[in-house]
Amino acid sequence: MSDDHDHHDGHDDHELRVSKIRSGTVIDHVRGGQALNVLAILGIDGSDGEEVSVGMNVPSDRFARKDIVKVEGRELSQDEVDVLSLIAPDATINIVRDYDVIEKHRVERPDLVEEVLSCPNTGCITTGDEPVSSRFEVLDDGVRCGYCETIVRDGIPSLIDT
């Protein structure tokens, strides 16, 4: 499969805002304003030296405004990107090699997300000093803590464990 990954929204001037990458992952059609949360969920903070480009509130045909995240040198797996469905359900993932998109997929809602979110319930056992990582069941309209069973429908980005 070959595609010019910067031009599929019909905005020829994208490369002026966010440069093309040679090899890596482009996460496109992220809801406007969520790009930094996408990076947080993926645990990418630049400290490993990855080249990361972020476009925020870029004009889009599909949404009025979208965010776009490009990570040079890292091909993200389906499992890694599925967790993005919680905050960027419409995101498309382009795996790029030598400037060509070789794989393109949508995020799918996983059944379970582990070690990504922290429980907002202060009475939950996972909020103490116990040697336990968080686990959330993914519901149609939110997430549910696997320990205290608290359901969170709004404000999921604020629970991202950074």
Partner 1 sequence: MSHSLSATQNGEIQGLGKSQHERMRHDHLITSKQLSRADIETVLDRAAEIDADPSAVADRHANSVLGLLFFEPSTRTKMSFETAMKRLGGSVIDMGSIESSSVKKGETLADTVRVTEGYADALVLRHPKQGSATMASEFVDVPLLNAGDGAGHHPTQTLLDLYTIRENAGLDDLTIGIMGDLKYGRTVHSLSYALTNFDTRQHFISPESLQLPRDVVYDLHQQGERTQIREHDSLEEILPSLDVLYVTRIQRERFPDENEYQKIAGEYQIDLETLEDARDELTVMHPLPRVDEIAPEIDDTDHAAYFEQAHNGIPVRMALLDLLLENHTRGDTDE
Q: Among 6-14, 58-66, 98-106, 148-156, which window interacts with partner 1 (CB under 8 A)?
A: 148-156
Site string for partner 1, 81-100 (x = CB under 8 A): --------------------
Residue 129 engages partner 1 in binding (rule: CB under 8 A): yes
Q: Which is nearer to partner 1, 102 or 138 (CB)?
A: 138
Nearer to partner 1 by Cβ, of 57 and 133: the residue is 133
Burial of 55 (0-12, 13-18, 19+ CB in 10 A): middle
Q: State the first-to-last Cα distance of the chain, in angstroms, to the nearest integer.
A: 35
Least separation in angstroms between CB 66 and partner 1: 32
Give 49-105 as a DSSP string.
--EEEEEEEEE-SSSSEEEEEEEET----HHHHHGGGGT-TT-EEEEEETTEEEEEE
127 contacts: CB under 8 Å, gap ≥ 6: 118, 119, 121
CB 141, min distance to partner 1, A: 10
| Whether the Cβ atoms of residue 56 and residue 33 lie closer than 8 Å to each other | yes
Q: Which is nearer to partner 1, 34 or 134 (CB)?
A: 134
Rank residues 35 and 156 by Cβ distance to partner 1 and give the closer one: 156
Where on the chain is the footprint of partner 1 (CB under 8 A)?
111-112, 121, 123-132, 135, 137, 145-151
